[in-house]
Amino acid sequence: MQTPLGTNHAFQGWADQFLVTPSDGVVDLYGALGTTLWGVNLLGVYHQFDAAKGSADYGNEIDAQITKAFGEHYSLLAAYANYFANDFKTDTWKFWLQAAINF
């Protein structure tokens, strides 16, 4: 089932390899660890993707994020996603920076 107005980015890895669900479905076994050191928020996430029907291995993914707030209104974020496809798709990595002003 596809979500017409939603996103799987928040749920099935930040490399966005499952924006369209495969016909055999997808099982996302994941774990996350996060902490704050010296005012910097650190987050790491690991995903293992498998078919819901059958025994296909869709690969795995490692995601990492660093966030730092500056004062009450400003923050910076750096994030990285690395998808290891095995035989399902193509290995993919993404990196992005984000600056935010909250008011």
What range defines the domain where residue 67 resides? 41-101
Asked if residue 59 belongs to a domain, the reply is: yes
CATH number of the domain residue 96 falls in: 2.20.200
Can you tell me the distance from the alpha carbon of 51 to that of 22, in angstroms, rounded to the nearest whole number? Answer: 8
88-101: pLDDT as tens digits:
889 999 999 999 99
Indicate if the pLDDT at residue 19 is higher than 90.
no
The count of domains in the chain is: 1
Asked if residue 84 belongs to a domain, the reply is: yes
Asked if residue 24 belongs to a domain, the reply is: no
Can you tell me the distance from the alpha carbon of 47 to that of 75, in angstroms, rounded to the nearest whole number? Answer: 27
pLDDT at residue number 2: 59
Q: Which tokens is 11 given?
A: 């749920």
**pTM strictly above 0.75:** yes
Asked if residue 16 belongs to a domain, the reply is: no
Percent of residues, the chain, with pLDDT higher than 90: 79
User: Where does the pLDDT of residue 5 fall: very low under 50, low under 70, confident under 90, or very high at 90 and above?
Assistant: low
Indicate if the pLDDT at residue 1 is higher than 70.
no
29-60: pLDDT as tens digits:
999 999 999 999 999 999 999 999 999 999 99
Asked if residue 14 belongs to a domain, the reply is: no
N-term to C-term CA, the chain: 38
Asked if residue 28 belongs to a domain, the reply is: no
